[in-house]
Structure 1
């Protein structure tokens, strides 16, 4: 029996470095979101108090957000997966059309190691993180930029933060709905059956 036919065999999906990058980035993003909520929601601000400490945690967690990804670039597996996330092919357009039409048949949603939704999410969250970092630095080092820049940066930072919170909630919700995907990020392995069903074009 070939390895491809053995649906009980485990398939290596993520390396240890990739899992470390994901967990560390998730932790830093979680600190950013929670501290932002404490800064902008009056009830949470009153409950937590110590605004100066919350601001400091928020600033340094935001500044550290790119660090795990930059460190992960030393890993060949991580670089390879970044390349996969950055490539959008005809099968991804097919996947998106099926998703938009709410076609839940697996054969109508062809995907490589990452599906089109995961690729779009990765690109969006990476871009949003860079924008948040740039606008946050403008708000932090107030003496380096004109007032109109800081005002615009504050507007973009605040509204993009709300958008990120909503998108992250959707990301977490989808992860909770797929135990096998969570297992892949937790242990690095998924079942062959899941890989064949959800990522039919992936050949590990």
Structure 2
């Protein structure tokens, strides 16, 4: 996504769309639930034993939150496919295929163009870690959830990897929060989508230049 100057204030640029912000905060909320439920399952036998009928409540919330976490991460891609399906009078495989190709093209552009220019190298590393850990969480969590269907010699290392990954992710999350709190303009961009043009030019000049090469004319005071 390229910067878009707001009509009422050319000195303010739109950095994140509503969907991108919704994805970020949904992911954060679900991850927080996962952390809390994981701590309860490990440290509190009483909380772990709470059940509704035959179903233990805390593990259920943990599993559902994990599934929703994956859904939140892929929602931007699913939304594009859903729009294509809804725009079709029926199940139009050609249009759906075209939509999937367009989603792939958008993803490739995001990885090499102005969308990626919004982020510095530390932020890019955080994005890569988040996506990579999400995949590992999904695989290891799924194998743990399958229980006795999976051989013990597979499930045991998957559990250890799942826990280790969770610990590392919490450390990364705390660092992420600390950086956000010490960079209020960057955090504002994820809250209401907007950042100041001067801040963007100072921290992400390439992003501004790629999509908005001509600075706005100065207005008389």
- By the TM > 0.5 criterion, same fold? yes
Q: Aligned pair 1:86/2:106, yes or no?
A: no
Alignment match of 1:14 (pick from 16, 19, 22)? 16
The aligned counterpart of 2:214 is none
Alignment match of 2:65 (pick from 42, 61, 64)? 61
Q: Is the 8 A contact 1:8 1:193 kept in 2?
A: no
Cα distance, 1:8 vs structure 2: 6.8
Alignment match of 2:41 (pick from 39, 42, 46)? 39
Q: Count how many residue pairs are aligned between Structure 1 and Structure 2.
A: 174
The aligned counterpart of 1:166 is 171
Matches within 5 A, 1:21-170: 21-42=23-44, 50=50, 52-73=56-77, 74=79, 83=108, 86-87=111-112, 112-170=117-175
Flag the structure with larger Rg.
2
Q: Is the 8 A contact 1:13 1:190 kept in 2?
A: yes
Between Structure 1 and Structure 2, the one with more strand by share is 2
Calculate the aligned-residue CA RMSD, in Å.
2.9
Task: Give the whole-Å Cα distance in 1 for the aligned partners of 2:119 and 2:106.
Answer: 9
Seen in structure 2, the aligned counterparts of structure 1 residues 116 and 173 have a Cα distance that, compared at 3 Å, is same
Q: Is the 8 A contact 1:19 1:186 kept in 2?
A: yes
SS at structure 2 position matched to 1:22: helix
Task: Give the whole-Å Cα distance in 1 for the aligned partners of 2:161 and 2:106.
Answer: 30
TM-score, normalised by the number of residues in structure 1: 0.75
TM-score, normalised by the number of residues in structure 2: 0.69
Gaps of 5+ in 1: 89-110
Q: Is the 8 A contact 1:85 1:122 kept in 2?
A: no
Q: Is the 8 A contact 1:14 1:184 kept in 2?
A: yes
